[in-house]
Amino acid sequence: MPLHTLLTRARLLPVSVISDADKSLPTMDHGIHRIAGTGTIAGRAVTAHSDGDLLSVLEGLELAQPGDVLVVDASTNPTVAVAGGLFATEAHRKGLSAIIVDGLVRDLDTLRPLGFTVYARGTCPRSGPATTPPRTQVPIRCGGVNVHPGTLVLADDDGVLVTTPERLTALIDTAEAIHLHEETALAKLTDGGSLFSSMNFRTHRENVLNGTPSKLGFIA
């Protein structure tokens, strides 16, 4: 499947559904949260390792192509912002999907109305220097997970998940089926139906109590 098609399908799903399709997929810790933007993003990682210096982030921003996600490990210096309004506006102009920072950002008054997706641990008005030789397109850690150049990054309001094209291809059909079942169950609930009429909870509970192999799921 072409990567463009795969990512387009992934963007139509909540990240929680993709996680449900393969619970072994690594997710960034909850400290990495959405600062600005909406919806589900999905793209290839362009990585930057920053000790609080801006040159790595700028070089990563220059290297990134439309649809990419700039992922920055700035965890070693949680005292300065390494991205803000200017960087996000340039990323938006270039057509990037998002900037994700294990560290701090700034310029919320610019970020929020821009409509571009930014994740970070928090904000700080002070920015870092631009004096350290840049390190980009190297393996990094972000939010407690390994991110390599080209790793697929998916994120929404629930958080950030990373995977590979091969694993996403293997699970995308299952994820779409889960999403359809959840949407059907939600529609029944909205109409006054019971959640338990849409799930095999009682049968699964009995199987668990009896030591019988079983799996909780939706009833078609």
Domain borders along the chain are 3-163, 169-210
154 contacts 161 by C-beta, under 8 angstroms: yes
Q: What does CATH list as the number for 3-163?
A: 3.50.30.40
Query: Residues for the chain: how many in total?
Result: 220
- The three-state secondary structure class of 201 is helix
Most confident segment among 151-160, 178-187, 193-202: 151-160
Q: Look at 60 and 197; give whichever has higher pLDDT.
A: 60
Residues near 27 by Cβ (< 8 Å), separated by ≥ 6? 19, 143, 145, 159, 160, 161, 162
pLDDT at 200: 92
Would you say residue 99 has pLDDT above 80?
yes
Return d(Cα 40, Cα 34) in angstroms, integer: 11
Average pLDDT, integer, range 79-103: 98
Give the model's pLDDT for residue 217: 85
Tens digit of each residue's pLDDT (9 = 90 or more) over 6-31 = 999 999 999 999 999 999 999 999 99
Q: With cut-offs at 50, 70 and 90, classify the pLDDT of residue 193.
A: confident
Q: Looking at residue 1, what is its pLDDT?
A: 87
Which tokens go with 83?
């991205």
Q: Which of 162, 168, 169 is nearest to 26 (CA)?
A: 162
- Specify the pLDDT at position 42: 98
One-letter amino acid at 161 equals L
Residue 220 pLDDT > 80, yes or no? no
pLDDT of residue 197: 86
> Would you state the pLDDT for residue 219?
82
146, burial (CB in 10 Å: exposed 0-12, middle 13-18, buried 19+): exposed
Residue 53 labelled as part of a binding site: no
Residue 126, marked binder: no
At residue 198, the pLDDT reads 84
* Exposed e or buried b per residue across 46-84, where buried means at least 16 C-beta atoms within 10 angstroms of its C-beta: bbbbbbbbbbbbbbbbebbeebbbbbbbbbeeeebbbbb
